[in-house]
Amino acid sequence: MNPEKNGRNDKFLWLAPFAPPKGFTSVPAGGMCLCAFLFVIRGRKVLLGKYREHPAWEKIAGMDEKRVKNNQHGFTLPASHLKFGEYPMDAARRIGEEILMLPEGLAYSEPLVQTFFYEISIAPGEMHYDVLFLYDLILGEDYETGLPPWYASFEWFDMDLLMNQKYARQHEDVVSAWLRKKCNCGIAPVQQPL
């Protein structure tokens, strides 16, 4: 559905019962998400994981059992919706520390902000709006990541092969957007605090 055809092209993302006439008094029918994604990098490799059915997903990422089950067969980036009132950088750190179980004190990049606007499958004919904050976390070449119990597997993929993987949750779109901005910038590992 084209936003120009239904009059949304002149609306502003002010979502409140008291929004001005050019805002929204309720969430648009297709919904909207604010999410943080973490690109964990070691040399020229990026960490991807596959979900394991585990009750912790609801607490650490807000995903119910059905969503985890539907997305456990493809690779995903470490990610989470922002919690209400959460600063995007804090969400990136939470992904690193709570979801990936990495130590505190690692250096996270400034975000690359990406937006997507697309028809959502669970609400045919309605447009969904995503605002994504993409963070890099560069680890030393010898850094080993453990496997948290809510992941079935972790794998490191060369940046040149990232788009050849089978993804879940439309993460291929996020990877593609990140690669367009990052792949040719000469990413090199930096020393991480112990």
Number of residues in the chain: 194
Q: Is the pLDDT assigned to residue 194 strictly greater than 50?
A: no
pLDDT in the model for residue 120: 87
Q: Tell me: the pLDDT tens digits for 46-90?
A: 999 999 999 999 999 989 999 999 999 999 999 999 999 999 999
Amino acid at 94: R
Domain count, the chain: 2
What pLDDT score was predicted for residue 77?
A: 98
Q: Is the pLDDT of residue 189 over 70?
A: no
> What CATH number does residue 62 fall under?
3.90.79.10
Burial readout 58-84 (b: 16 or more C-beta within 10 A, e: otherwise): eebbebeeebbeebbebbbbbbbebee
20 with 68, same domain: the answer is no
pLDDT computed for residue 8 by the predictor: 54
Residue-range definition of the domain harbouring residue 1: 1-28
- The answer to whether 24 and 122 have CB atoms below 8 angstroms apart is no
Q: Closest Cα to residue 33, out of 97, 95, 79, 99?
A: 79
For residues 108, 133, 160, 191, the Cα torsion angle rounded to the nearest 10 degrees is 0
pLDDT at 165: 94
Q: Do 119 and 20 touch, CB atoms closer than 8 A?
A: no
Beta bridge partners of 138: 41
Q: Give the tens place of pLDDT for each residue, 123-177.
A: 899 999 999 999 999 999 888 899 999 999 999 999 999 999 999 998 999 999 9
Distance (Å, whole) CA 102 – CA 97: 5
Main-chain phi, psi angles of 153, to 5 degrees: -160, 160
Q: How confident is the model at residue 192 (pLDDT cuts 50, 70, 90)?
A: very low
Average pLDDT (97-119) is 95
- pLDDT at residue 184, rounded to an integer: 55
- Cα 8 to Cα 173, 176, 182: the distances in Å are 24, 27, 32
Q: Do 75 and 155 touch, CB atoms closer than 8 A? A: yes
Residues 67 and 121 in one domain: yes
Residue 62 lies in a domain: yes
14 and 107 part of one domain: no
> Do residues 39 and 24 both lie within one domain?
no
- Kindly report which listed range (20-24, 50-54, 112-116) carries the lowest average pLDDT score: 20-24
55 and 10 within one domain: no
